[in-house]
Amino acid sequence: MIAIFHVLLFFMIIGSAVAIETKNMLSAVIAVGAVGFGVSLLFLFLGAPDIAITQVIVEILSLIILIRATTFADNRAVERKIDSFATITGLFFLGFFVMATVWAFSDLTPFGEPLMVVSQRYLAGSSAETGAVNVVAGVILDYRAYDTLGEAMVLFTSVLGAFVILRRRGKKPLDEADTEQFGIISD
């Protein structure tokens, strides 16, 4: 079972590297999608089907949005010069953070044994106390419903922001100079 996780992790690392390094925008978006589906498979093998379903569906929707956004956008790649000082500094900090991560992770409990006492209490009493067989639904909508309310409010605010920024007509009248510069369709 551990071998599957390692294969998926290497697949996701390669996908992320392709997404960063490729010149074509559409290839980068598809590589990001492959990484997302790898994450969802990982959740499925770890025994978290709720998160796997949500991850797959959000990944599909965000892929559609990204593809639709990038096919209309300007796809020219930015030319980069190799900066030796930036490369050396980056490598130094990469090594530093990898060592710090290994040092920090050595204190964790073994894989699959959670540290939190609260979660064991939830697992034992969820079905009897909330009546929901699906423990995840019992936790997010009964024990932790207040957190879910906060999450819903975050989404609500983001919709308000999207409508304000992307609406068709602004409050101020559009100059002809703006129309020429940005090529906005006025209806």
Binding site for other proteins (CB under 8 A): 49-50, 52-54, 57-58, 60-61, 64-65, 68-69, 72-74, 127-128, 130-134, 136-138, 140-142, 145-146, 148-149, 152-153, 155-156, 158-159, 162-163, 165-168, 182-187
> Rounded to the nearest whole angstrom, what is the least distance from the CB of residue 61 to other proteins in the complex?
6
DSSP states along 160-183: HHHHHHH-SS-SSPPPHHHHHHH-
Select from 108, 136, 33, 24 the least CA-distant residue to 71: 24
> Rounded to the nearest whole angstrom, what is the least distance from the CB of residue 180 to other proteins in the complex?
11
Toward other proteins, which CB reaches closer, 117 or 133?
133
Question: Which residue has tokens 């559609």?
Answer: 64
> Rounded to the nearest whole angstrom, what is the least distance from the CB of residue 21 to other proteins in the complex?
25
Toward other proteins, which CB reaches closer, 53 or 88?
53
Specify whether the CB–CB gap between 29 and 68 falls below 8 A: no
Specify whether the CB–CB gap between 90 and 45 falls below 8 A: no
> Rounded to the nearest whole angstrom, what is the least distance from the CB of residue 175 to other proteins in the complex?
15
Rounded to whole angstroms, the Cα distance separating 34 from 28 reads 10
